[in-house]
Structure 1
Amino acid sequence: MFERVAELAIRRSRLVLVIAALAVAVMGFVGGGAFTKLLPGGFDDPNSQSSRAVEVIDDKFGGETNLVLLVDTPDGGVDTPAAKSGGQALVAELKGEKNLANVYSYWDTNLAALRSEDGEQALILAHVKGEETELQDNAQSLIDAYSGTYGDTLEVRAGGGTAVSADISTQVVSDLVLAEAIAIPLTLVLLLFVFGSVVSALLPLVIAVIAIAGAFAQLSVLGGITEVSNTATNLVTALGLGLGIDYALLMTSRFREQLASGASVDDAVRRTVSTAGRTVAFSAATVAAALASLLVFPQYFLRSFGYAGVGVVAVAAISTLFVMPALFVVLGHRVNKGRMPWAKDRQPSVQGSVWGRMARTVMRRPALTALPVPAVLLVAAAPLLGITFGTPDERVLPENAESRHVTAMLGENFNGNDAAALHVVIDRAVAKDGLTSYAGELAALDGVLRVETSAGTYTGGRSAPAGPGNPALGRPDAQRINVVSELTPKSDEAEALVADVRAVTAPEGTEPLVGGTDAELVDAKDSISGQLPLAIALVVLTTFVLLFLFTGSIVQPLRALVLNVVSLGATLGVMTWIFQDGNLSSLLGFTAQPMEVSMTVLMFCIAFGLSMDYEVFVTSRIKELHDQGEDNESAVANGLGHTGRIVSAAALLLAVSFFAFGTAKITFMQMFGLGSGLAILIDAIAVRGVLVPAAMRLLGGSAWYAPPFLKKLHGRIGLSEGGPGPAPAATTEPSWAKDTTKV
């Protein structure tokens, strides 16, 4: 297969490049419409009880409150004639908006819960209508129209779910632009430093552009078919740029190495595709397998990253295998054009390289030299013992975000946070006595301030209402009950209240559904924990099979999986120490909170896949040298001597793509960028540089063990390094690889 790919590039190089250029143009045109189809949110399980409660509220009650307008009144408070007049006019105007429903306020209901404790502020609650694709635009238009000064007396600020989502979506785009503005120029500079040649430095960017264009086109198509989260665009740019560079770096390095060894351009292409090309194919398969595991989760936020990840990996790999060889044929020795002043002409030995020397040092005393590394990694992983999980809320936004400020005011100035209430819905008629009894039992639960129903407002477990009801909460064929608590939203106590509410005996013949932000958190954690074993099993199984096919050993996959768990544990531990425990919060500008459950799973899958990327890079050369007859220790040292610099350069370049998101103002995007970048560096330096040679030395010849029947199977279907033409000498490296790759 790979030989045929090489021959196609040699014989039809210009045709391949023309087709690639046309494909990029088409993908760019299609991908340009992606942002109009992608959606905010996606953190909830659509099959959960809380999601079904939202569906009933939408169907029977015109939708739950998702927009909260906080109204500041002039001196004298909300009950002054000027405030009443202005408030009533504002409410009337809002009720006339075609995209709003269920508008009610303190001024037309006299509900004390909608009046601040100091009497200076009042709330207007509403539901923004619209399908997912238009909901955000509708909300943003309303917020722009009504935020600020209304009339001569009122100041209006927007909060609630749609306002928070709108602020997050706007900030995500800004963060993406800033990250790209940092990553792309810095990456280009590093590429020039690594390659020491302008032409070679530009080649990885060609693959990155193709990968990003292809992934955006895929998201645009999928966005018209199913729900796709807009935050997946961050992965497309970071992973597209990083993997495009990784794969192109490996291919270009091998091609230049072949040219430096005296091979003709055609033979250099053949050897490059049959060796580095195979490595790219297996690397892409392992990364894609890890990211594909995200597709088992019902939350479209996670599935979207699965779509984006698999798409960008596939396009990067395909373009690397077909476009890069064609470029090599057309460029030939001109691949070294534009040599930079710092590029050297010396021919260093592989044995003398930093990575080769380090591997030999580690293998002389593997236990002594390697033990400090896992010890440090285990210490870094220790914060995982206290990890807690949450879902995104207004705290992921900067402190100056209006929607975040409004949410904080609701908790501070009002008696109970109506926006964080639990919503209990019954999708059928309920007798008044049954409703009264049920509401009284709910009001008796610890932490509950009041229970609002159509029949009355209940407090303290009394069966008689303590206040008037809200007729909007009742329908002939359905009832809605708001359970307002004094508990901190998304706290352990608030989660326990969800379980208590669900445990209360329902009116006869009914099956209440409990929704609200705290119920959504409980359901999200249950949903993800329920699917996580399957996702992990799929990752482990596919990784094991692919690495067996690549190496012919059952020990190598096991060794890789164990080392990955150690490095990933350290990464997640550091992220917990930072983002949950609040360390470095003043420096990075975020609010400490529980680890976002979906983003933690996402970071695990991405980091796992990328660590396997470098696993394949390193193992491929070791396997190649071992198959050529070198003993295990020599193959490891010389293999790392050949690939160590490539891996470290690739890791630095990929880490830069992710670290750029450390500038994001959205907390979970900061965690995603910093965590992924840290995982890459830990894996490339600590694992590949120290733990791999130590493990290979301790394993000895058994490192390549497989039962006879599996060896026979691998001989039939395995794809090992090899190909036409002689392998380069194991003692020298091309001149460009010397000082320019010490990263």
Structure 2
Amino acid sequence: MFENIGQFVVKHRKGVFIGYLISVLVAGVIGAGMFGSLKSQGYDDLGSDSAAVDQLLKSDFDTRDASVILVIDTLASIDDPDSVTAATDLLEKVADEENIESIVSYWNSGQESLKSFDGNAGLALVYFTKGLDSEQAAATAKNIQDTYDKESAGTRAYVGGIEVLYEAINGQIRDDLKIAEAIAIPLNVLMLLFVFGAAVAAGLPMVVALGSIAGSFFVLFLVTQFTDVSVFALNLITGLGLGLGIDYALLIVNRYREELARTNDVNASVIKTVTTAGRTVFFSGLTVALVLASMILFPQYFLKSFAYAGVSVVLFAVLASLIALPATLALLGHKVDKFKIRRGDLKPKESGAWSSLATAVMKRPLLIIVGTVTLLVTLASPALDAKFSQVDDRVLPASNPAAIASDQIRDRFESQIPVEVLVPISVSIADVNEYAKTLVADQNVVSAFTSDSFIEGETVSPLPPEQAVAASQAHHRITLYTDVESRNMDAQDLILRLRAIEPPVDGTLIGGQAAIFTDSQAGISDNLPEVLGWLTIATLIILFLFTGSAILPIKAVILNMLSLGATLGVLVWVFQDGNAMWLVGDFTVTGSLDTSTLVLVAIVAFGLSMDYELFLLSRIKEEHDNGADTTTSVSAGLQKSGRIITAAAVLIAIVFACFMTSGVTSIKMLGLGISFAILLDATVVRGLLVPALMRVAGDWNWWAPKPLRKLHARFGINE
């Protein structure tokens, strides 16, 4: 199979190369159309009870969240005549802006909940015209923020709200991505020149990276025509596209140089490279793609987006590595090493530091195993205290105007994000009020509104119709106000307690932001066993087909779990506990980790770890298949792949580490998590633990029961 691919590419090298360039250009131009369709939401489970409540509130109660929330600080009592005049004048100007449907404020409604605790500021809830698309809503929100978030005419206005936050996060990510690329690309160019040793060879990773990134943009453009896609997927495409371009180019070019030095025949070297290193790239890419595809099992489109993006970027990287890169090498021939940067011979050496390291490790394997496992477990220990939450305004820099406005709302006003309860209309209003009293008895529920009553503690007060929450034709509505944040573990505990209270009738639904958070967390935890099963089974099958061993795949999964545990521990220590800001930059410490970002880090790191596992095992297995014993195979395999693995890890770590320059905390977390996991895996795990374990296992490394040996003989993919 792979030999046939190599022969085809060599024979049609010019046509393949030109066709590839045209395809990349077309894909990039069309794919650029997806940028305006990406969204910064996607953390919610749209199939949950809370999502049903959200939909019913919009359709049956004509209730929706304010698009923009203004905090208007009058610098004196908001009931002072001058304050009233200043605030009213400001809101009249806002109301005249394009796409504004209505404004509900303290000054036109008299609602005490819209008055700050100190009495010097009021809230204005701004509702956009219905039917705006995401671009129009974002532009309107940005216009209001740019125009009114300032001090003027006796007021200081702060502009926040959901649309402002979305636009702030999107804009921050767009700007941060430019900065990260401006840092990562020059650094990687310098590193590529050093690692490849020649200017021409150093440019070859871009052949793979450009194709994988452009192809992925094209796929995401198609996906956005049918479903929502998160803007955060861009970070994965650029980071993984550059990273895999470097990984696979290093492997392919290194093997090509090796074969060219041995045969001095360009065509034969390209074919042999595709047959050997190409096979490794294929299995590696297949493994990484299947690992990333597991995120499709989660209900949130934030995580599904990374499945679309991740699978696309990996498959296009594999395609470019098997087709375009060999065609380029066939065209370059011996000129691949033109414009040498390093002195001496650039072909891989048969012995050196890596073989010496492997030999030293295998002399004391038990000591190395105990030491490295102890290190990994120690790094993982902070994970025992991990607390989970979701993204809110605090992912932005504290100096961001949207974050400042959100702090004003959080610190100076009653909670504006209630828990909403819908009870089927068949229940009497008296029973609804009794149920509401039971809910208010919870320690974190402050008060409740029903269609005819206000309930606070044991007191039930009748309400005039204009202050009550009206029922729809199908449901009574209970609005609960609480004293907890809506997107943390306290909110989750509250919702679980409220749902444990027996409702007056089946079909009662509990929603609101706290319930949305709870259901989103449940969407992840409930599907996690399936995802872990997917990862484990896919890894075991592919590594078995690759090696024919029943032992090596199990060992790989266990080591990956140890490595991921250590990474989680570091993330808890940094982002939950607020350490190492000197490394990652300033961020707001919330005492918790964003669950979705953590899942993303774990799955991407798992996939890349398998990437390096296959790089190493491919050379060890090749030596073993050629008759070497386990010790010699490991030593020679690590010598031939160790430099590639380490160089690839450093280069891809640079790409993701540059994400730590972002002002968005979840992007910082993504950058540190993946870069740390990669470096840990490429050094401690692949350089120390794998050789030590393989030395202890000896010939058992290659063991498989007879039925599996027959299965591999029939279905295993060989050169």
| Same-fold status (TM-score > 0.5) | yes
Return the alpha-carbon distance in structure 2 between the equivalents of residues 638 and 73 of structure 1: 71
Paired residue type of 1:570: A
Return the alpha-carbon distance in structure 2 between the equivalents of residues 435 and 150 of structure 1: 46
**Residue in 2 that maps onto 1:116:** 116
Return the alpha-carbon distance in structure 1 between the equivalents of residues 665 and 194 of structure 2: 32
* Cα 1:75–1:257 shift into 2, 3 Å: closer
Deviates more, 1:153-162 or 1:663-672: 153-162
Return the alpha-carbon distance in structure 2 between the equivalents of residues 492 and 144 of structure 1: 31
**Residue 216 of structure 2 contacts residue 309 of structure 2 at CA under 8 Å; is this kept in 1?**
yes
Cα-to-partner distance string for 1:400-450 (whole Å, 9 max, x where unaligned): 122222222223222x211x3222344658754344434333333212222
SS at match of 1:228: coil
Residue from 529, 534, 544 that aligns with 1:533 = 529
Deviates more, 1:530-539 or 1:143-152: 143-152
Paired residue type of 1:600: L
Deviation at 1:73, TM superposition (A): 4.1
Cα-to-partner distance string for 1:501-560 (whole Å, 9 max, x where unaligned): 334454x55734322332222111111111000011011101111000100111110111
**Residue in 1 that maps onto 2:6:** 6
* Cα 1:569–1:148 shift into 2, 3 Å: closer
SS at match of 1:261: helix
**Residue in 2 that maps onto 1:692:** 690
SS at match of 2:184: helix
Return the alpha-carbon distance in structure 1 between the equivalents of residues 427 and 92 of structure 2: 32
Paired residue type of 1:527: G
Paired residue type of 2:245: G
Paired residue type of 2:536: V
Deviation at 1:227, TM superposition (A): 1.1
Answer yes or no: is 1:396 the counterpart of 2:390. no
Matches within 5 A, 1:77-116: 77-91=77-91, 99-100=99-100, 103-116=103-116
Deviation at 1:144, TM superposition (A): 3.5
Return the alpha-carbon distance in structure 2 between the equivalents of residues 127 and 479 of structure 1: 24
Deviation at 1:492, TM superposition (A): 4.0
Return the alpha-carbon distance in structure 2 between the equivalents of residues 346 and 278 of structure 1: 23
**Residue 72 of structure 2 contacts residue 124 of structure 2 at CA under 8 Å; is this kept in 1?**
no
* Cα 1:277–1:19 shift into 2, 3 Å: same
Deviation at 1:45, TM superposition (A): 0.5
Paired residue type of 1:377: L
**Residue in 2 that maps onto 1:730:** none
**Residue in 2 that maps onto 1:219:** 220
**Residue 255 of structure 2 contacts residue 273 of structure 2 at CA under 8 Å; is this kept in 1?**
yes
Paired residue type of 2:651: L
Return the alpha-carbon distance in structure 1 between the equivalents of residues 275 and 124 of structure 2: 67
Deviation at 1:472, TM superposition (A): 6.3
**Residue 212 of structure 2 contacts residue 320 of structure 2 at CA under 8 Å; is this kept in 1?**
yes
Deviates more, 1:385-394 or 1:461-470: 461-470
Return the alpha-carbon distance in structure 1 between the equivalents of residues 368 and 16 of structure 2: 49
Return the alpha-carbon distance in structure 2 between the equivalents of residues 531 and 650 of structure 1: 32
**Residue in 1 that maps onto 2:709:** 711
**Residue in 1 that maps onto 2:671:** 673
Return the alpha-carbon distance in structure 1 between the equivalents of residues 119 and 411 of structure 2: 13
SS at match of 1:77: coil
Deviation at 1:595, TM superposition (A): 1.2
Answer yes or no: is 1:329 the counterpart of 2:330. yes
Deviation at 1:577, TM superposition (A): 1.0
Deviation at 1:576, TM superposition (A): 1.0
**Residue 175 of structure 1 contacts residue 665 of structure 1 at CA under 8 Å; is this kept in 2?**
yes
Deviation at 1:101, TM superposition (A): 5.3
Return the alpha-carbon distance in structure 1 between the equivalents of residues 528 and 500 of structure 2: 26
Return the alpha-carbon distance in structure 2 between the equivalents of residues 447 and 708 of structure 1: 61
**Residue in 1 that maps onto 2:654:** 656
**Residue in 2 that maps onto 1:556:** 552
SS at match of 1:17: helix
Deviates more, 1:135-144 or 1:702-711: 135-144
Deviates more, 1:391-400 or 1:163-172: 163-172
Matches within 5 A, 1:174-193: 174-193=175-194
**Residue in 1 that maps onto 2:573:** 577
**Residue 358 of structure 2 contacts residue 638 of structure 2 at CA under 8 Å; is this kept in 1?**
yes
Return the alpha-carbon distance in structure 1 between the equivalents of residues 671 and 156 of structure 2: 38
Return the alpha-carbon distance in structure 2 between the equivalents of residues 437 and 146 of structure 1: 47
Q: CA RMSD in A?
A: 2.3
Return the alpha-carbon distance in structure 2 between the equivalents of residues 347 and 209 of structure 1: 26
* Cα 1:26–1:63 shift into 2, 3 Å: farther
SS at match of 1:537: helix
Segments of structure 1 that go 5 or more residues without pairing to the other structure are 723-743
Matches within 5 A, 1:226-305: 226-305=227-306
SS at match of 1:464: strand
Deviation at 1:354, TM superposition (A): 1.1
SS at match of 1:675: helix
Deviation at 1:32, TM superposition (A): 0.9
Return the alpha-carbon distance in structure 2 between the equivalents of residues 160 and 73 of structure 1: 16
Return the alpha-carbon distance in structure 2 between the equivalents of residues 714 and 132 of structure 1: 53
**Residue in 2 that maps onto 1:380:** 379
Cα-to-partner distance string for 1:648-681 (whole Å, 9 max, x where unaligned): 1111111111111011111111011110001101
Deviation at 1:456, TM superposition (A): 4.3
Deviation at 1:719, TM superposition (A): 1.6
Return the alpha-carbon distance in structure 1 between the equivalents of residues 218 and 245 of structure 2: 16
Paired residue type of 1:84: V
Answer yes or no: is 1:37 the counterpart of 2:45. no
**Residue 473 of structure 1 contacts residue 481 of structure 1 at CA under 8 Å; is this kept in 2?**
no
Matches within 5 A, 1:396-475: 396-414=395-413, 416-418=414-416, 420-426=417-423, 428=425, 431-465=428-462, 470=467, 474-475=471-472
**Residue 287 of structure 2 contacts residue 611 of structure 2 at CA under 8 Å; is this kept in 1?**
yes
Answer yes or no: is 1:629 the counterpart of 2:627. yes
Return the alpha-carbon distance in structure 2 between the equivalents of residues 600 and 283 of structure 1: 23
Deviation at 1:585, TM superposition (A): 3.6
SS at match of 1:371: helix
SS at match of 1:307: helix
Return the alpha-carbon distance in structure 1 between the equivalents of residues 264 and 71 of structure 2: 76
Deviation at 1:137, TM superposition (A): 2.0
**Residue 197 of structure 2 contacts residue 340 of structure 2 at CA under 8 Å; is this kept in 1?**
yes
Cα-to-partner distance string for 1:378-405 (whole Å, 9 max, x where unaligned): 0000011111111111111100122222
Paired residue type of 1:282: F
Share of identical aligned residues, percent?
A: 38
Return the alpha-carbon distance in structure 1 between the equivalents of residues 489 and 40 of structure 2: 26
**Residue in 2 that maps onto 1:566:** 562
Deviation at 1:586, TM superposition (A): 6.0
**Residue in 1 that maps onto 2:587:** 590
Paired residue type of 1:424: V
* Cα 1:661–1:157 shift into 2, 3 Å: same
Paired residue type of 1:330: L
Deviation at 1:689, TM superposition (A): 0.5
Cα-to-partner distance string for 1:212-251 (whole Å, 9 max, x where unaligned): 1111111111111111101100000000000011101110
**Residue 291 of structure 1 contacts residue 609 of structure 1 at CA under 8 Å; is this kept in 2?**
yes
Residue from 481, 484, 491 that aligns with 2:481 = 484
SS at match of 2:124: strand
Deviation at 1:262, TM superposition (A): 3.2
Paired residue type of 2:340: R
Deviation at 1:92, TM superposition (A): 5.6
**Residue 362 of structure 1 contacts residue 690 of structure 1 at CA under 8 Å; is this kept in 2?**
yes
**Residue 454 of structure 1 contacts residue 469 of structure 1 at CA under 8 Å; is this kept in 2?**
no
Paired residue type of 1:630: A
Deviation at 1:471, TM superposition (A): 5.0
Deviates more, 1:133-142 or 1:321-330: 133-142
* Cα 1:673–1:410 shift into 2, 3 Å: same
Return the alpha-carbon distance in structure 2 between the equivalents of residues 505 and 713 of structure 1: 55
**Residue 67 of structure 2 contacts residue 127 of structure 2 at CA under 8 Å; is this kept in 1?**
yes
Cα-to-partner distance string for 1:250-296 (whole Å, 9 max, x where unaligned): 10111111112233001101110100000000000110011000001
**Residue 286 of structure 1 contacts residue 542 of structure 1 at CA under 8 Å; is this kept in 2?**
yes
**Residue in 2 that maps onto 1:143:** 144
Return the alpha-carbon distance in structure 2 between the equivalents of residues 369 and 434 of structure 1: 68
* Cα 1:83–1:436 shift into 2, 3 Å: farther
Deviates more, 1:248-257 or 1:160-169: 160-169
Deviates more, 1:328-337 or 1:588-597: 588-597
